[in-house]
Amino acid sequence: MQTVIEHALVPGTFDPITFGHIDVVTRARRLFPRVTVAVAASIGKNGSGPTFSLEERVELAREALGDLDGVEVRPFRGLLVDFAREEGAGALVKGLRAMTDFEYELQQADLNYRLDSDLESIFVMSAPQYGYISSSVVRQIASFGGDVSTLVPANVVAALREHYK
Ligand code: PNS
């Protein structure tokens, strides 16, 4: 077991990355010297497939996080605990927005603990200004031609415009 954890993952679907995700990654980086944003190939929260391909989601996250020192973005397939082991990461960091996130995140943390009890699940509270941002809300607004520039970075605004044009 690692006593001091040097490397953490911030896992998610990132379909697409939002200012809320960027806030979580920035805060994870304050807690750990090395952070890997782990972009899952798999299905999203509501059971549907992602809107953007894995390659697009990784690219958008890389562009959005480009100048954050000690942060890299990597795709993964399969179980998160296996990816964490391959990467030598000792913790998972996720953001909690509201109570509605809690049940889902607790279930995932419980499952991940059963699969690998050495991997710590750590939660940071979303900054209030990002509390109601989610990738699905962003996609919905963008699909109706609404302005999402206060919710996602400029590269994602452009990608959404292209996708829903
Ligand atoms: O952004 P999300 O949708 O909350 O991210 C969920 C994610 C990708 C972290 C979760 O679905 C995941 O870990 N998927 C990989 C498959 C896995 O390990 N499942 C078992 C643990 S829940």
Domains in the chain, start-ordered, CATH in brackets? 7-164 (3.40.50.620)
Identify the pLDDT of residue 67. 82
Residue-wise pLDDT tens digits, 137-161? 999 999 999 999 999 999 999 999 9
Active site residues: 21, 45, 97, 135
Closest CA to ligand 1's atom 6: 12
Closest CA to ligand 1's atom 10: 12
Chain-wide mean pLDDT for the chain?
94
DSSP state of 152: S
Backbone angles phi and psi of 8, in degrees to 5 = -125, 150
Residue-wise pLDDT tens digits, 77-109? 999 999 999 999 999 999 998 877 899 999 999
Residues with CB under 6 A from ligand 1: 11-13, 40, 42, 44-45, 79-80, 108, 111-112
Helix (H, G, I), strand (E, B) or coil at 28: helix
CA Rg value for the chain: 15
- With the most atoms of ligand 1 within 8 angstroms of its CB, the residue from 10, 13, 76, 94 to mutate is 13
